Amino acid sequence: MPLLTLTSDIGQQDYLVGAIKGQLLQSNESFNIVDVTHNLSPFNYPQAAYVCRNAINNFPKGTFHMVLVNLFDEKPDHLLIAEHDGHYIACADNGLLTMILEEIPQKVVALVLDKLSQKNTIYCTSVFAKAFTDVSNGKKLEDIGDPSISIQVKNPLRPLLGNGYIDGQIIFVDNFENVIVNIHKDEFEEQRKGRSFKIIFKRDEVIDKISETYADVNEGEKLALFNSAGYLEIAINKGNAAGLLGLQSFSEKQLHQSQYMSSRLFYQTVKVYFE
């Protein structure tokens, strides 16, 4: 029974997610479909990469992953399916693939779209579904698509590293309004070199220790910890850090504003100073 994850920025207000699953099951009734999320913010590539990467890492090898994010950034004439570390990832050729993997995929092919077909989400799903079915039936990627494709590449949003500091960016706000920063624990410790530190963010708020759980501080107090994916998280015990501390991640509104305000930052910065 092939395992297939589904991630999108579609939302769940209408029929579309159900129709996508119907298309997948028409291609292969044995697909075991697992929803990751359908509530990704439109145009927010770093958020989508963070969510997809850390979901994919927890699935067994051989899993198919369909990522429907910013599917129509440009009018497509092809889609992508990649094989990387035993996983199969299908998405638009919009640069998101390399942000998810944080490198060039080990193998990737273009799935050419029928010029006469209407390029909508259901049609694209049917193309991915056929590719997944072909692979699950033993076909190689190079037998179902064009391996000569030169894919779009976008680099993951990396923190700025210095001898005495790290400048990170807020990439995600979770359902509890905990704030996730693109600083991984390994990166933090490598830069820290055993030194003390201060995490500084909006309103000159300071945190100078890493907690293990939310309960390490009193109710209503702020804290920092590394979440289950290993990324720096700023939280308030039994409170919403994003709202109470005035923190936010990238939003579609900021994208439109930035067209008129070239100096506006897309991402709020969280600074770590080592002493």
Both 8 and 134 in a single domain?
A: yes
Binning pLDDT at 50, 70 and 90, where does residue 267 land?
Answer: low
Is position 198 within any domain?
yes
Both 75 and 176 in a single domain?
A: no
Last residue of a domain, one of 86, 114, 144: 144
Using a cut of 0.95, tell me whether the model's pTM lies above it.
no
Is position 153 within any domain?
no
Last residue of a domain, one of 110, 144, 178: 144
What residues make up the domain containing 179? 160-274
Last residue of a domain, one of 144, 168, 203: 144
Binning pLDDT at 50, 70 and 90, where does residue 251 land?
Answer: low
Average pLDDT over residues 41-53: 94
Domain count, the chain: 2
Q: In whole angstroms, give the CA distance from residue 135 to residue 144.
A: 8
CATH number of domain containing 65: 3.40.50.10790
The DSSP annotation for 19-63 comes to: HHHHHHHHH-TT-EEEEEES-PPTT-HHHHHHHHHHHHTTSPTT-
Chain mean pLDDT for the chain: 91
3-state secondary structure (DSSP) of residue 127: helix
Q: In whole angstroms, give the CA distance from residue 257 to residue 194.
A: 41
Average pLDDT over residues 155-168: 94
Position with higher pLDDT, 256 vs 49: 49
Both 128 and 13 in a single domain?
A: yes
